Structure 1
Amino acid sequence: PTPTPEPTPPGSTTRTCDDLNSPQRRTLSFADEFDGTGLDTTKWRVRDRTHLSFDAAYVTKDAVDVSDGTLTIEGRRRSTPASVSSGVRERWYDTGYLDTVGTFSQKYGRWEMRAKLPTSRAMTRGVWPAFWLRGDRTNGEIDVMEAYGGESTQRWNPAGSYTTTLWEDTNLGKQRGEWYSWAHQNWATRTPGVYEGFHTYGFNWTPDCMQFTYDDQVLSTIPIEQVPWARTAFDSPFNIRLNMQVGSSYWGMPDQQHTKDAFDYVVDSVRVYRVNP
């Protein structure tokens, strides 16, 4: 007897990544144009009064604002450091973090964000805006856009450009109480002037390929066969993350000599599409 094929998820039929660049071959499944007077909490979850492990910022809902048709994640230097748990570095900057955990996630399709970045070539050391996707049930991560401010503490200064990355977190040191993670693959871009005006950062995903785009131009296409670990790391719907960290041990921590007191990550729209069958 002929085996019964496993059901195919909607929108995951045999399409190429290039198909998703055509408006006629995709259907909108999520959108926020930020046209209201406040954040739509049916779409977004805002983190508040917390901090991350890699930077020197304090995450607060007060740093997230919707007005005049845009979402703004603000970075502001504090007059005194935020009070956080003992043993954690001082938090001299406020910033924001929002995601769609529990409200929206999707496997396969196209994700895109139109935004203006704050990462100019000077006085933005440590400024680190990102647009990324995270698996609901796996350790996979897709960094559609990560940008770093300048001047950095590295000889190679990426200010004015951004990177795209495919990740999988791996708990190699659990027996020692340690957590390790690394990028299995990194497709870096050196697109100049990304902080000059608004640009659209896109990611296409089908069962056979992944593709990064910038202002509707293809930057790279990655066949899944080149990243076989992706079949398990990305075997899940993915939610959306928008945040701006401030400082890293690699690119440098912020200071008043190299980092201005106020900077804004301004998002005009976020949209997600399914590929048409």
Structure 2
Amino acid sequence: MRDRTTMTAIALLAASALLGALPAHAAGSARQDAGQAAGLIDPATPAGVQPLGTGTATAAAQTLVFSDEFDGATLDAARWTARDQERSGAAGTDRWWYKPAGVRTDGAGALAIDVKQLAEGQYAGGRIDSQGKFDYTYGTIEARIHTPAATNGHLAALWLQADAGLTPGGVVDGTARDGAEMDVTETNYQADKYSVTLHYDGYGADHKSSGTVAEAPGLHSTWYHTFGLSWTPTRLTFLYDGAVVRTVTDPRLVSQVAEFPILSHEVLDGWADGSVHDETFDWHSTMYVDYLRVWQ
């Protein structure tokens, strides 16, 4: 049974289609009022704030529908769920998980997601997502993230996934239109670059992907950079500090279904740059998120 927050979020999203008949300012005001009533917009988000790149990647001002400034003493359960899930792969004998204990607010206005060693050959990171609480179709997502300076076998990520598309199944049709994993960033390199990838048709034998590597000046050496995705029915525009790093216009690659935001920091020893066996597991190896915001 869905809770009241979930039902309010779903009602907000369903209502957005009807709001298209209203004048733009009235529709935007109604969406923002509904988001605030549902507890999906953080009162600490500055009034009238717009995503970086507005006017280039996005054609006009948009309405804030979801935000978290991570200023609270704990993670806001009305917006997020912290996952407990094994993520071990086929590399060696190591095992690793998402663990709720790895997710915290740092008391200074940021979300912190740690990677830790649990025991010999056992490691944990963390993941939060808004599945069942908030999702959206088309709009702009933006997060301000600090990437650890040395990514020894672990990566920080901002991504989207679909409830009824790629997860839990969807149709294997050679397209991402019924849902995709949309990786806004996966910081899986020690150099100043990161992966921007679309995954679709599941994760099994039919899995397909389309990716590129974005150059990211100052990614590891400077605290906080902004990662964004402007998503329309015909285009995906990925941004780094407001600058476009990838544009997708192939209609087969643009999801047409609702997707929910995910923030994660995980161990992927044997695939990412470096080895988790060389990590120090102190504050240098923590992912920090200043804010996450979504506009439509």
CA contact (8 A) 1:247 1:253 kept: no
Counterparts of 1:128-147 in structure 2 under 5 Å? Answer: 128-139=155-166, 140-147=180-187
What's 2:290 paired with? 268
2:68 is aligned with 1:32? yes
CA distance in 1, matches of 2:186, 2:279: 18
* Equivalent position of 1:105 in the other structure: 135
Alignment of 1:169-208 (within 5 A): 169-170=201-202, 179-183=205-209, 185-195=210-220, 196-208=222-234
Q: Which moved more, 1:247-256 or 1:193-202?
A: 247-256
1:155 equivalent in structure 2: none
Whether contact under 8 Å (1:161, 1:193) holds in the other structure is no
Q: Distance in 1 between matches of 2:273 and 2:193?
A: 16
Q: Distance in 2 between matches of 1:165 and 1:10?
A: 32
CA distance in 1, matches of 2:188, 2:149: 6
Q: 1:164 aligns with which of 196, 210, 232?
A: 196
Look up the equivalent residue of 2:108 and give its one-letter code. D
The answer to whether the 8 A contact 1:98-1:242 is kept is: yes
Runs of 4+ in structure 1 deviating by more than 4 angstroms, as ranges, are 10-13, 17-24
Would the alpha carbon gap of residues 21 and 254 (structure 1) be closer, same or farther in structure 2, given more than 3 Å must change?
same
2:252 paired residue among 211, 222, 229: 229
Residues 252/23 of structure 1: CA separation in 2 closer, same or farther (3 Å cut):
closer
C-alpha distance 133-12 of structure 1, shift in aligned 2 (>3 A): farther
What residue number does 2:259 align with?
238
Aligned mates of 2:232, 2:62 — CA distance in 1: 12
Instruction: Give 1:217 deviation, angstroms.
Output: 1.3
Distance 1:20 1:9 in 2: 25
Q: Could you say if the C-alpha distance between residues 213 and 136 of structure 1 is closer, same or farther in structure 2, counting changes exceeding 3 Å?
A: same
Distance 2:18 2:162 in 1: 18
For 1:238 and 1:138, the matched residues in 2 are separated by 9
Per-residue Cα deviation, 1:74-95 (whole angstroms, up to 9, x for no partner): 11223x24xxxxxxxx42x221
Amino acid of the residue matched to residue 216 of structure 2? T
Q: Quick one: percent identity of the two aligned structures?
A: 28
> Is the partner of 2:114 in helix, strand or coil?
strand
Give per-residue Cα distances to partners, 1:118-142, cap 9 Å, x unaligned: 143xxx3211111000012111111
Structure with bigger helix share is: 2
2-structure distance, mates of 1:253, 1:187: 20
Counterpart of 1:100 in structure 2: which amino acid?
Answer: S
Which of 1 and 2 has higher RCO (CA within 8 Å, sep 6+)? 1
Secondary structure of 2:279's partner? coil
Contact 1:113-1:268 within 8 A present in 2 as well: yes
CA RMSD in angstroms comes to 2.8
Go from structure 1 to structure 2 and tell me whether the alpha carbon gap of 1:95 and 1:255 turns closer, same or farther (over 3 Å shift).
closer
